Structure 1
Amino acid sequence: DEKALKIIAELAEGDMRSAVNDLQATAQGKKRLSVNDVSWLRARNRQYQAFDVLRMIFVSKRCDDARNVINSSLLDYESLMLWLDENLPRQYTDPEELAKAYYYLARADIFLGRMKRGQRWELLRHVIDFMTAGVAMAKIHPYKFTKYGFPQKLLLMAKAKDMRAKRESVCEKVASKCHLSRRKASTEMIPFLHVIFETPGLVKRDISRWLELDESMEDFLKKQG
């Protein structure tokens, strides 16, 4: 039955292996494949990466299509908001498109703030509607391929988190060796170690060996302190 084959093709969403597997599973032992034979099939719950999620939102022509993208996304809604904020100017080059898209993204951010402050989780649907359907419907011109970028805020947050982790590791070693609290190690010892490690000389090598610092910790003391 041609309709049965069309159903399999649609549910496979372009995945040839998926289509072949479904065809084998439903047609095994049968001479003719009917619509009833494939009615149990369901679209696979694929998890899409950030770049795919952005593309699928921007290419959407219907609100429901854009809204449903988040259900198959590896991104949480807050991360998706950052990805959209970073890449809207790349995708929407028309000032009118860009203004509309940022308006809806701003509305999503407002509702997100209200939701988090008041623990009003019923507002989440508005957050998702604005950041997906709203942004997609801001489109005036046909979708065009765009190279997306990683959100700078996420990069800065990751870098800051890494630096905090290194500082904590150094403070822990200093506190243990000097019998101090981590707080005192951070406020009283780290500044002096920074001066020592940014100055040429062999003393820092002996201190590093005594504190059992690795290369990343030494680098932290040289640059940050």
Structure 2
Amino acid sequence: MGQFRHPNVVRLRGVVSAGPPAMIITEFLLHGALDAFLRGREGTLSPLQLVAMLRGIAAGMRYLAEAGFVHRDLAARNILVDAHLVCKVSDFGLSRALDGDRDSDPTYTSSLGGKIPIRWTAPEAIAFRTFTSASDAWSYGIVMWEVLSFGERPYWDMSNQDVINAIEQDYRLPPPPRCPPPLHRLMLDCWQRERSARPTFPHIVRALDRLIRRPESLRVAPPDPHG
């Protein structure tokens, strides 16, 4: 963490190593974890505010990808929110430097078993323990869904095995209520089965910038009272 310098990545301030437990000191983020912050705030944040938050997360991930890191545990619980609603990528416990040429398709392959966050993890990472910036992009799509659903649990009460089976059968999460269609389309792009078909983080940032410049594209038609 000490080498990261970006407004959307949590800043390391220091390390306490004088005795167990070892601790890190980071900048203070007033609102804490994004998922907990969003719960109960439906109706208090505009679509434009939500997109600005998502844009910040994507910018932080673009920085990490360009620095040659894969996060492996991107989720709303691992995004922290400051007093000005700036979102910062945090929790690098699973992050790794990528092997290979950054201009090709660098990967991190875990030879260890261990638990992985199934609901946020790309199919190839679940099946083969192969992690790339493209698998982080899949996770980012889940974060988008969490944000637009105001902290709902992805896949609700489905078991992890049911989630794996559903994804293999091409099931994808439906749009949250009142989700602008362009945002759900971007989620679906992130959830392409082929990792090469998923948008890169620079592409995601540009797509969100276009929506921010055209806020009318975030309007959602009111529900039909006649069903």
TM over 0.5: no
TM class by smaller structure: under 0.3
In the superposition, the TM-score normalised over structure 2's length comes to: 0.25
- Report the structure, 1 or 2, having the larger strand content: 2
Who wins on radius of gyration, i.e. which is larger?
Answer: 1
- Report the structure, 1 or 2, having the larger helix content: 1
In the superposition, the TM-score normalised over structure 1's length comes to: 0.25
